[in-house]
Structure 1
């Protein structure tokens, strides 16, 4: 088998094409992994936000028991309404 310039160029083109395909596959896989990580992070943030909301609601209810009405009652109603709407989605 005789190796000339055309054979070398063909081999280089083939290697370049294979490299481009593998690079594209790796980029797609990396993007997929990043999306999964973001989904996990969002789930953790939602759980934390839920706990914080319950804490704020408990504080507001404590204030209401101490006789602080007005905007406290309004805030409690809004939080409870929001929580009920989210629970039934």
Structure 2
């Protein structure tokens, strides 16, 4: 297996894993328990998402789609910002 994504935290890693698995790829989150050993210090780079070697290209393509969607979503949120600086989100 190969690590294809380094997450800021376990929550982000599980979101990515869930998206990959929704598309039929087997993915694992590794390192999420390492962050607890470090106490209150901010930790990055310990939590990652791993996929099988043969799924790397497909997984990277899905990650690219997720990134593009996030950028589009950020732009839409900016367009919906009110004059008072409050952002309106629709689910």
TM-score (norm 1): 0.35
TM-score (norm 2): 0.34
Structure index of larger Rg = 1
Q: RCO (CA 8 Å, sep 6+): is it higher in 1 or 2?
A: 2
User: Which structure is higher in helix share?
Assistant: 1
User: Which structure is higher in strand share?
Assistant: 2
